Amino acid sequence: MKFKLFFYFTVFLFIFSVQCFSQSYLQLSLSDDEDFSVVFDNNELSSGNVAEFDNIAAGDHYLKVIKEGPNVPAQADVVFDGKIKIPSGYDVYAVIDEYNTFNIYKKKKFGYNRYILNQDFIRRCGEKHGVKEYYNNLNDECKYKAIRPDDYKDLKGSIGNRNFESSNMDILKTAIDNNYFSSEQIRELLAFFSFEDNKLQIAKYAYKKVCDKNNFFKVYDAFNFDSSITELKNYISGK
C-alpha cells in the first residue's frame, strides 16, 4: 500500500513538473501602452492595453496586432502581422516596439511569480511566500501587469544598498524602462531619495509606466514642497 501511494505521488509530481516546464505564457503590450486588438493563431481578443495567453505550446505561432486610435480605423492600423517563436517553459513578456517589431524583453520560469489557472482551481509552480499577498495588494489595473514581486524586492534592495542618488536614479530608470509599476510602488521607491529634484525627475520619468494613472495622486505624498507637486501636475497635464 505504501509503495502504491509513493508511486502515485511520484507520478503526480512528474506530471505537475512536466506541466510547469513544458508550457509557456505570453504577455503582450505596445511600447506606447495604447489599446490594441490581437489575433493569436485562431484566437481573437478584444481591445485593451495588454494581452495574455496562458498554457500555450512552445514554438511558432501566428500573431496579428491591430492598434486602435481615435482617428484611424482599427483595421487599417496593423502594427504587426507574422510569425513569432515562443520558448518552452517560460513566462514571456513582449512588446511591439516603435519599429513594429516583436521584442521579448523578459523571460521568467513558467508561473514563477504568477497564478496559473488550471480547470476550476488556481495553483502555482514555484510559489514563494508572500506572492499571493503581493498581488492582493495591487489594484485591478495593476494585477499581473506590475513588476513581479521578486524583481520589486530585488530593486528595493539594490537601491537601498547604494549611497549615491545618481546611481540609484540610473538603476530605477532602467527598471522603469522594463517594467510597469503601481502608483503606490512609485511613492514607496521615491522614499529612497533625499533630494526633491531627484524625486521629481523620477516621478516624471515613471508616469508613462504607471499602470493605475488614476491613482497617481498617491505619489504626491512623497514630496516635501507644494511647488514640486504643482510642477508634477503641470507635467502630467502637458502644461
Q: How far apart are the first and last CA of the chain?
A: 75
Cα separation, 132 vs 126, whole angstroms: 12
Fold of 2-127: Immunoglobulin-like (2.60.40)
pLDDT per residue over 154-212, tens digit each? 898 888 777 788 888 999 999 999 899 999 999 999 999 989 999 999 999 999 999 99
pLDDT digits (tens, 9 = 90+) for 221-231: 999 899 999 99
0.85 exceeded by pTM: no
d(CA 64, CA 193): 42
The torsion angle over the Cα atoms of residues 33, 36, 39 and 43, rounded to 10 degrees, is 100
- Domain map (residue ranges) of the chain: 2-127, 149-237
Q: Rounded to an integer, what distance in angstroms lies between the CA atom of residue 207 and that of residue 100?
A: 23
DSSP code string of 30-42: ETT---EEEEETT
Judged by DSSP in three states, 198 sits in: helix
Q: Mean of the per-residue pLDDT values for the chain?
A: 78
Strand spans (E) along 14-155: 23-30, 36-40, 43-48, 51-57, 59-67, 78-86, 90-96, 102-109, 116-118, 121-123
| Confidence (pLDDT) at 173 | 93
C-alpha cell at 213: 494613472
